[in-house]
Chain A
Amino acid sequence: MTRRHRSNVLTLAGHEYRSAARSGVLVLLILSMVVVTAGAITIASFDFRAQIADYAAYIAQAKAAGATVTAPPLFFPLQLLRPVFEYIQIIGAVIAIGLGYLSVARERSGNTLPLILTRPVRGRELFLGRLLGATALISTILVVTAVISVLLIGLVGGRWLSGAELIKVAITFGTAVIYMLLFYALGTWLSARSKVVANGLVVALVIWLSVVLIIPQIGDTMDPDNQVPGGLFAALQVQKPDEKKVLAHFTTYETIRNTLEESSLTKHYERLTFAVTGIKDKYNGKSLGTIAHAKRADIESIVLYMALMSCLMWLGLRRENATRKDTR
């Protein structure tokens, strides 16, 4: 890429960023994420303190009664981030789709695209410029969220994160930027394809619902053992060997259920971040290398989705450029 092309890409990215900042959207999105994440961490911290207080009361009662006591609840500060990642999974994806939609809607209502296309700007530069601008926007939102989260864990949770833990936080928020960019690309692609831009937003939201809720939920809801509180086999008082014998008759059903679950981008993002931060207990205290090895299938799936969504966004913008050029 020549210096002129680089300069065009940076100018277009700056335009994308400034438009969102000027309209107040950036501030609103930062505020929204900060409010929900700060609330989530504060609630989780207070809940943990309350659990400790309940435990202390239980110890006093158990000692008075001369009974043996169970171990206290363990505190892993990174586990306080679980609701934050869940918010990124759900709300972060909606925000990213909205940003993609706005990027197209703004150009259409302001008629700025035909003006840009009168300049020596290539389609590739437009694509990279928008992607870079969106990366900067999403990164700004997530960096502020991450900083607030770390500060709150220290101030309210009462434990400052170590260097190794901060690296894990940086990795998971970096993954979150990629995750949100994928939904941004989806929003851009569908809005650019739609004659009525709002309809593209509606279709993108339906896909969001499928990826974030329906597909992972099918995995959970259609799991026979999730149908009864406490588990179906426990309710039927069936032991593990008998449970295995019964489930052997449902291998096709289980395969379909697992395949559906595996196809969800959100599930891959969740598994990776929960492993890195030790929210999933079995990865707590494991090295990043071990986790990367264990989660390579999730990493590969995210990379695959990145390639797919980049292609779709590229195609959507190419079509948008051609259409806008023709109509002028």
Chain B
Amino acid sequence: MITTAVIARQHLRLLSRSQTFLLMLVVLLGMTALSGFIGWSSHATILRVYDETVKTLTAAGKPVPPNPFAYKPRLSLLNNMIIYVPLIGALLAIVIGNMSITGDRQAGVTRVIFSRPVLRSSYFWGKVAGSAVAGAVIMAACLLLSVIGLTLINHGPPTASELVRLTAFYALSGLYLLLFTLIGIVAALLTSSQSLGLFAAVAVWALITFATPQFTSGLRPVASLNPITDPVSVSHSRFFRATSKAKPIAVNEQYKALSSRLLSQGNDVLGAGAGKTATQLAPILFFVLLLGGWAHRLIARRDFSEETARD
């Protein structure tokens, strides 16, 4: 237990000394702020457009339709985060995962560590715990910024229910990022060079983020970047009716769907719809456990005594 904590602390120190952690924190906080700003700006504009439309229609003596944005959920202002986390967040998580293994190899730290009576599983848990703490700190900071932003935009703090859903959203995002950290770790352990490990993980990221949604939902790569794009606009041919059966195991789609429910729907997500929530969460948890087990096995079997990472 103590060894695990020491390795986790060493991993966190490596990240903070190289300023990589600070940089990632700044990037994700910037994305959170930007997401709130874009949400607020487009929402405020739409309301002004509606007001102008009402004036124009009233002047022409035409009937005024109801405001389509009147009942828009307040948390949906952060909808862009659903896109930013799988893109930049996942890539940064891969960099953290890759650095956690190759950084030690390049500096010759693994040889020093394993010259001591350190269990392989302690090393694995230390690395995972260090990465998880880094991710948790970043997500907690994003949560705090989101609360401040929503309070300013909505002229009042979020309700208890909104706070719970927002916390659940960032916890889910943290879990999703852990999945990509593990992909970075596994790819680094499977390859002898840092570059190959990094690119292999990026290739997996591309498959999960773009290729899978294209196969299961017919979403073109660019269409997957827009949280507003209505998936109804994509093809509903027999082909996609058949491939959509694979949707439940597509982690990116499940993350986006569950996040969207958390930010746009009421208490249904954690109450009456808890069963659906569990179904959407299951593939992400399954792959985290699978990759964790794989990384553990690779660390247990690898000969760290002579190798150094190559570029």
Binding site for B on A (CB under 8 A): 23-25, 28-29, 31-32, 35-36, 39-40, 43, 46-47, 49-51, 53-54, 82-83, 86-87, 89-91, 94-95, 98, 102, 105-106, 109-110, 196, 198-199, 201-203, 205-206, 209, 212-214, 217-218, 220-222, 224, 226-230, 232-233, 235-238, 242, 245-247, 249-250, 253, 270
Contacts and interface: CB of A to CB of B under 8 A. Distances in A.
B50 A28 contact: no
Contacts of A32: 199, 202-203, 206
Contact of A43 (B191, B195, B196, B214): B214
Identify which of B53, B57, B215 gathers the most chain A CB atoms within 10 Å of its CB: B53
Interface string B192-234: 0111101110110011001100110010111001111010110
B20 A109 contact: no
User: Chain B at the A interface: mostly helix, strand, loop or mixed?
Assistant: helix
A230 B232 CA distance: 10
Contacts of B49: 224, 232, 246-247, 250
A105 B214 CA distance: 34
Interface of B: 18-20, 23-24, 27, 30, 34, 38, 41-42, 45-46, 48-50, 52-53, 56-57, 60, 65, 68-69, 80, 83-84, 87-88, 91-92, 95, 99, 106, 191, 193-196, 198-200, 202-203, 206-207, 210-211, 214-215, 218, 220-222, 225-228, 230, 232-233, 235, 237-240, 243, 310-311
B240 A47 contact: yes
Contacts of A43: 214-215, 218, 239, 243
A90 B203 CA distance: 12
A250 B45 contact: yes
Given A89-B222, A227-B42, A28 B203 contact: yes
A94 B203 CA distance: 10
A59 to B, nearest CB: 15
Given A218-B38, A222-B41, A98 B88 contact: no
Nearest to B83: A213
A31 B65 CA distance: 53
Given A86-B222, A246-B53, A94 B46 contact: no
B218 to A, nearest CB: 6
Contacts of B226: 217, 220-221
Contacts of A247: 49
Nearest to B194: A105
A47 B195 contact: no
Contacts of A199: 18-20, 23
Contacts of A35: 207, 211
Given A40-B214, A202-B23, A238 B53 contact: yes
Contacts of A201: 95
A109 to B, nearest CB: 5
Contact of B50 (A46, A221, A236): A236
